[in-house]
Amino acid sequence: MKSSATGQVLQASDAVSLSAASSLHVSAAPDPYRQTDTKVRQTSIGVISLLTLAGVVVLWWAVTAWGYIDPLFLPSPQAVASRVLRLFSVGYMDATVQQHLAASLWRIGLALVAAVLLAIPTGIAIGRNRIAQGILDPLIEFYRPIPPLAYLPLIVIWFGIGELSKVLLIYLAIFAPITIATAGGVRNVDPVKLRAAQSLGATRSQLLRYIIIPSALPEILTGLRIGLGVGWSTLVASELVAATRGLGFMVQSAGQFLATDVVMAGILLIAVVAFVLEIGLRRLQAKLVPWHGQAR
């Protein structure tokens, strides 16, 4: 009976989607002209982005080569590139770049996993239950606008200067965007699908598994991308507290000794890693919800 009800729920969901598509006269066959136009736009945007980055590097090289800015304040691209290579081979502050990177990735990875495990259920509860919304929503909206550095001293007082305080600071930064995005996605679930599934006897768990979560998945993944970006920027603040390794610690320590080339190298490494993570999440989103964000 349970498998039969599950099958009916899925059939009802598919039937509702097909009915909506037919009412809008949407063709199921792909449009080759639209696909070609999309590829051309993506290629042109990529070329513009590469030219912009190249222009920034050329301008950077010009102002340093012609002596407009002292190397103490802005080292040349060659000096920064040389420092990056030395950091990989020699390291900085008794640790190689690989060790600094591993420490940072471990902290943000642990915070991200904890945030996902707690934020998604919290967002679903806020989106589906008015009592949960009344209790949890004000608390999240209260701390969300506060910069992490503002409550960092309080976290240190409560939890000490160990790894827990660092991971907790990043976790709090990631938690709010994922929760808010999940709640918004749950509220926007098509009520026609819910009523159709309920009319076939779907249980709450079946509604959650086959209707609510798949429908809210695009917003959940968007919140995950936003949360990871905020968490990565919070990483530097978390590593200001008694850290001995980490990219943020490396940048902060180099700044104290006016090692501008190390600061620039660390900033570039942070940007590259954040960019790679963002591209990975975009690919994941495109694979799981390929229909999301497409032009109509």
| pLDDT tens per residue, range 68-77 | 888 889 899 9
- Which residues, in sequence order, are CB contacts of 110 under 8 Å at separation 6+? 167
> Looking at per-residue confidence, does 254 or 41 come out higher?
254
Cβ atoms of 235 and 112 within 8 Å: the answer is no
| pLDDT tens per residue, range 193-241 | 888 988 888 888 888 888 999 999 999 999 999 999 999 889 888 887 7
What pLDDT is attached to residue 292? Answer: 66
Q: What is the pTM of this model?
A: 0.77
CA distances (Å), origin 93, targets 233, 239, 252: 22, 14, 11
Q: How confident is the model at residue 18 (pLDDT cuts 50, 70, 90)?
A: very low
What pLDDT is attached to residue 2? Answer: 45
Q: Taking residues 250-257, what's their average pLDDT?
A: 90
What is the CATH code of the structural domain delimited by 101-289? 1.10.3720.10
Residue 269 to residue 35: CA distance in whole angstroms: 35
- How far from the centroid of its chain's Cα atoms is residue 187's Cα? 21
What pLDDT is attached to residue 243? Answer: 83
Q: How confident is the model at residue 1 (pLDDT cuts 50, 70, 90)?
A: very low
Q: Taking residues 265-276, what's their average pLDDT?
A: 90
Range from 30-39, 64-73, 184-193 that averages highest in pLDDT: 184-193
- Which residues, in sequence order, are CB contacts of 128 under 8 Å at separation 6+? 186, 212
Cβ atoms of 1 and 7 within 8 Å: the answer is no
Average pLDDT, the chain: 83
What pLDDT is attached to residue 31? Answer: 53
What pLDDT is attached to residue 24? Answer: 37
Rg (CA), the chain: 24
